[in-house]
Amino acid sequence: MSSGTLYDKVWNFHQVKELPGGSTQLFIGLHLIHEVTSPQAFSALNEKNLGVKFPNLTVATVDHIVPTSNQQRPFSDPLAEEMLATLENNCKTHGIKFHGIGSDSQGVVHVMAPELGLTQPGMTVACGDSHTSTHGAFGAIAFGIGTSQVRDVLASQSLAMNKLKVRRIWVAGELQKGVYAKDLILHIIRHLGVKGGVGFAYEFAGPAIEKLSMEGRMTICNMAIEGGARCGYINPDETTFRYIKGKAHAPKGPEWDKAVSWWKSLASDSKATFDDEIQLDGSSIEPTVTWGITPGQGISIKETIPNPELLPKNEQQIAKDACKYMNLKPDEPIEGKSIDVCFIGSCTNGRLSDLQEASKIVKGHSVATGIRAFVVPGSQKVAKEAKEKGIDKIFLKAGFEWREPGCSMCLAMNPDKLEGRQISASSSNRNFKGRQGSANGRTLLMSPAMVAAAAINGKVTDVRNFLQE
Amino acid sequence: MKQEFPKGEIKSIQGRSFTIRGDDIDTDRIIPARFLKCVSFAALGEQVFADDRKELKGNHPFDLDHNKGANILIVNDNFGCGSSREHAPQALMRWGIRLIIGESFAEIFFGNCLALGIPCLTATKKEITKLQNLVEEDHTQKWYFKLKELSITNQIETVKLDLEEGAYNMLSTGKWDATSQLLDEEEKIKYTISKLPYLNNFR
Ligand code: SF4
């Protein structure tokens, strides 16, 4: 059993009591809601005649269903409009702060909450969305919950939870030029498997992790869930504090120093015990791309599609399915594979530094003929800052579309969808069959810089070719 | 008449029964993914098994007249596998299902049903086949389930059932309802809050 880890410390602070079934009642410090998983929770609350216990600890935004080309109300999709209107009403009725359409703080929930300084070290963060693990980048325990748990948090600000085991993933060395946080997490999931983290919280640590910016750290923790770990976290340090300082909800004045010293005390002790430890060398990681239908099916840009027969037994079937679905042949290189659509955005890679890195690749080039490429900033704030830096212009000039913030083609619940057998180069986090809106559409996951390179060449490209120029 | 949703201790369930045959029936079949985009679970009852029903044009067990008002479902192996979405048990509950008996259930589906007060009990393949045949012989017969005896009977034939102890205790004491448990001791929540630096100006 783990002890002395950040996970243990934060868990202990939030423990309310042991429940009869053997699980723990855990207090939730920050509850984030959006239009897709909250409406049923509110109606369940009404059915039970319950109210929202601590409305000031729940914060709402709208992201999944928003159109990214025209955000005029009412939305053209009546169902999307209904979902948004329902959330607006629920927030008004229960006194919950809503960062809606038209607000300059609206955005993908896992992008906007950190921007507002809502996410802080030592909190428990819950949201009806599996990528809530993102907030662990700040040294919080953050995890996705189902609809009935959203109801429970609204009703009681707490949840019935079982404590997870803790696995430390130590990444030594330094990421090479052209290798980003996204490559690192795809590499980790490839090696530990999509179910490898089930029952675990992942602590990401080591020199390669410490050198990452907060945005890079969010990319890592965001995809912990794709490796099966319901939450992933990074110990808070000066990088964390610098990011939070001055944000709207950050502690101010004399509180700031006290906050920092509490935050520091939460980091895993040097003598902490972990249930499991794994070491990786960050310097040897190359730009990584998924070729299949799970985020674990990644290879480096220089590798070829694996031969299913040569894989471990338990991976063979899914690899065969993937080859068939993706229409890829074993031993064929991934580099040079033609693509149709390029998507830069999502809560994994829709932040300012993501757009900035991608724009460096794009600058002075144009999107290859026949390729549809678009950028969807993760939030209004990202969009605004990118415009101030002229990043939107670089993309527009190259032939990209520049859209309004939202989840967009990460899951295609809005009008942005793949069509037919189209194949996308995407900076998002899931490459499941049909994920991007077409039942037989295909997705290659990669870093935003790699997506940019793919857009220019019209095929999967080693981004490092662009960095040598 | 619509039945009430499960409430409190669940010690016995009685009613008519029908079968859904087949192994590995996943949550996507129970409620197709497109119904995820909804603001309330209320309408889900009508959509249960929507695609299967469409295909069978009125001959699906959930459409047959003689199954209207039945509340006990007999299934086969690994029922409710696939995604963890709660829409599936919600859809079954809102259609009127109050008890499911099968060879085995997917773990998350089992948990989601329990959290709604719908017991999922198991029996061996042989016993399930026997039960399914009995049920299908006469749609009008009434079945009686008693938690304490872990059995279901039509008062002629009886089938023994299985249920893990944790779930048994939660149903028999009415503690399956997570929300009410969490609301039990407000003082303890207040105490937890008072100890959290970030909710107390980092004092
Ligand atoms: S961007 Fe994608 S993964 Fe992130 S919250 Fe939106 S839909 Fe979910």
Q: What is the pTM of this model?
A: 0.89
For domain A1-285, which CATH number applies: 2.60.40.10, 2.40.110.10, 3.30.499.10, 3.40.50.720? 3.30.499.10
B2 — contact with chain A (CB < 8 Å)?
no
Q: Is B127 a member of any domain?
A: yes
Q: What is the pLDDT of residues A124-144, one digit of tens each?
A: 999 999 899 999 999 999 999
Residue A269 is given by DSSP the state P
Q: Let me know if residue B105 belongs to a domain.
A: yes
Query: What average pLDDT does this structure show over A189-193?
Result: 95
Q: How far is Cα A194 from Cα A214, in angstroms, rounded to an integer? A: 24
DSSP code string of A32-81: EE-TTTSHHHHHHHHHTT---S-GGGEEEE--SS--SS--PSSPSSHHHH
Flag whether B119 is in a domain.
Answer: yes
In eight-state DSSP terms, residue B86 is T
Mapped onto helix, strand or coil, the DSSP state of residue B26 is strand
DSSP string, B43-57: GHHHHTTHHHHHHHT
Partner A contacted by B157 (CB < 8 A)? no
Ligand 1 binding pocket, CB closer than 6 Å? A 63-64, 108-110, 129, 131, 346-347, 407, 410-411, 428-429
Q: Is B123 part of any domain?
A: yes
Q: What number of C-beta contacts closer than 8 Å exist between A and B?
A: 104
pLDDT score, position B2: 55
Expressed in angstroms and rounded, the spacing between residue A46 Cα and the centre of ligand 1 is 27
Q: Which domain range does residue B43 map to?
A: 12-177
From the list B112, B181, B202, which residue is nearest A251 (CB)?
B202
Burial A313-332 (b: 16+ CB within 10 A, else e): eebeebbeebbeebebeeee
| Local confidence band at B1 (pLDDT 50, 70, 90 cut-offs) | very low
Longest Cα separation, chain B: 71
For residue range B21-79, list pLDDT tens digits in order: 998 898 888 988 778 777 778 889 999 999 899 989 999 999 999 999 999 999 999 89
For residue range A1-55, what is the model confidence (pLDDT) as tens digits? Answer: 999 999 999 999 999 999 877 789 999 999 999 999 899 899 989 988 999 999 9
What is the per-residue pLDDT across A446-455, written as a single tens digit (0 to 9) for each? 999 999 999 9
Query: Which candidate from B42, B169, B201 shows the least CB-CB separation from A43?
Result: B42
Average pLDDT over residues A72-98: 95
B191 occurs within a structural domain: no
ipTM associated with this complex: 0.93
Domain residue limits, chain A? 1-285, 288-467
Total domain count for chain B?
A: 1
On chain B, the residues whose CB falls within 8 A of the CB of A36 are 36-37
Q: Alpha helices of chain B — where are they, by DSSP H?
A: 27-30, 44-47, 50-56, 87-95, 107-114, 125-137, 165-173, 178-182, 186-194
User: Could you tell me the CATH number of the domain that includes residue B123?
Assistant: 3.20.19.10
In the CATH scheme, what is the code of domain A288-467? 3.30.499.10
